[in-house]
Amino acid sequence: MIAVLNGPNLNLLGTRQPEIYGAETLDDVEALCAETAETLGLAIDFRQTNGEGELITWVQECRGRAAGIIINPAGYSHTSIALMDALKAVDLPIVEVHISNIHRREEFRHLSYVSKVATGVIAGLGIRGYALALRAMADIVAPEGEP
């Protein structure tokens, strides 16, 4: 199972700053992830929270339960050392996803604590980044010798 975890304000996708984040909703993201995962033969657990503590708890629950984590930490990317520490502690492959290109935005968004522990980062490709993250994760977690 691959955990697909989403941080604060992503429940507002489609209505919050569509010029930056697009018109797709979080339901659209979940449908894309489910479709992509099925194609790849992966099971996913898709979640969203506005709470930092809840997100950290979900990360910790992945230990021994998930093969990897795809995470869009949203605003917690730039503020949460606790989230970074939790991700580091679970010792799983992590792909960080951002719908917008955080490096073309405000200076404070250029630093992501999550990037410091992520296996890889996908940013700026809209919700397609989630599908790409799932494809990458499928390659990362595939047993050696299998396609």
Question: pLDDT for 21-37, tens place per residue?
Answer: 778 999 999 999 999 99
Determine what percent of the chain falls in helix, strand and coil, rounding each to the nearest 5: 50, 15, 35
- pTM, two decimal places: 0.92
**Amino acid residing at 20:** I
> What phi and psi, each to the nearest 5 degrees, are found at residue 87?
-65, -40
Confidence of residue 43 (pLDDT cuts 50, 70, 90): very high
Please give the Cα distance from 72 to 95 (Å, whole number).
9
Q: How many domains does the chain have?
A: 1
Confirm whether 147 is domain-assigned. Answer: no
Q: Tokens 């790849």 appear where? A: 40
**Which CATH number goes with the domain that contains 39?**
3.40.50.9100
Task: Determine the pLDDT at residue 108.
Answer: 61
Domain that holds residue 92: 2-141
Question: pLDDT for 106-120, tens place per residue?
Answer: 676 667 999 999 999
Q: Which residues are part of the catalytic machinery?
A: 21, 98
Higher per-residue pLDDT: 46 or 16 = 46
Contacts of 17 (CB under 8 A, 6+ apart): none
